[in-house]
Amino acid sequence: MKLAVLQWQIAFGNIQENRKRVLELLSPLEDSLVVLPEMFPCGFDYDNLKNHAKESQKLLEELRELSKEKRLTLIGTYPEEREGKLFNTAFVLSDGLLVGKRDKIKLFPLYREGEHFSPGQENPVFETRHGKVGVLVCFELRFPNLGWELRKKGAQIIAVPSLWGAKRKEHLKVLSQARAVELQSYLLLSNGWGRTGEEEYAGNSAIYDPWGNTLAFSEVGDSVLLVYADLKKVEAVRRLIPLDTD
């Protein structure tokens, strides 16, 4: 099984430029589970969120078709408007189907997300051909209870779409590796890098195995991380160090 992470410098408020970049980075990938950055269509362009929400739906449909054509599972987040409210919504597309969505629960106060988005309520695990996947969005890495809830629901892979600031990059590396260790799961972290709008993002995208080993890492620069993985390793680690003891 192939696991992949995309990292690029998100073009602030420019869906067409980000569409072009994500399609370029996806072009060599087939039959893979792929994680994209948080808010990858536009970044946190708050002044134009409602318009970006509409335009992002078109990109999502294009990615759905691509997931069918290339046998991909694609995970990322985008702005979505429902019933007059905006959400930072994670999607899971697999083999041409929208498997499900999950709204970001923990909104980041330093980026004033709570002033622009409504918080999510549900924390599901998604069944895909590439395994059982849970999603933590960026800031949610700091809340181990959310990760453990996914583990108890059967997640084998944790996808982490992010736009994590460069000033906190050491936190990002420690927390993402720690979540892989404590959840005994593959963890795929996709982050933006460089300046997007007024923020500088950390990069440091990575793929960790259930033992916490770093399988792939990119500090800065546009990149595709790709590894071959075996979900049997998840079960092996969980048998070796049982955590479900209650």
Per-residue confidence (pLDDT) for residue 213, from 0 to 100: 99
The answer as to whether 245 is a domain residue is no
H or E segment and range at residue 124: none
pLDDT above 90: residue 244? no
CATH of residue 148's domain is 3.60.110.10
pLDDT above 80: residue 50? yes
Q: What is the mean pLDDT of residues 101-125?
A: 98
The answer as to whether 117 is a domain residue is yes
The answer as to whether 198 is a domain residue is yes
Structural domain for 70, as ranges: 2-240
d(CA 44, CA 49): 8
Per-residue confidence (pLDDT) for residue 225, from 0 to 100: 99
Cβ neighbours around 178 below 10 Å, total: 16
pLDDT classification of 135: cutoffs 50, 70, 90: very high
The answer as to whether 18 is a domain residue is yes
pLDDT above 80: residue 243? yes
Per-residue confidence (pLDDT) for residue 171, from 0 to 100: 99
Per-residue confidence (pLDDT) for residue 245, from 0 to 100: 60
- For the segment 182-220, what is each residue's pLDDT rounded down to a tens digit? 999 999 999 999 999 999 999 999 999 999 999 999 999
Looking from the CA of 76 toward its CB, the CA atoms found within 13 Å total 32
Per-residue confidence (pLDDT) for residue 168, from 0 to 100: 98
- pTM (two decimals): 0.98
Per-residue confidence (pLDDT) for residue 115, from 0 to 100: 98
Per-residue confidence (pLDDT) for residue 246, from 0 to 100: 61
Percent of the chain at pLDDT above 70? 99
What single string gives the DSSP state of each residue in 43-103?
-S-GGGHHHHHHHHHHHHHHHHHHHHHTT-EEEEEEEEEETTEEEEEEEEEETTEEEEEEE
Find all residues with CB under 8 Å of 222, minimum gap 6, and list them: 7, 8, 9, 21, 25, 193
Domains contained in the chain, number:
1
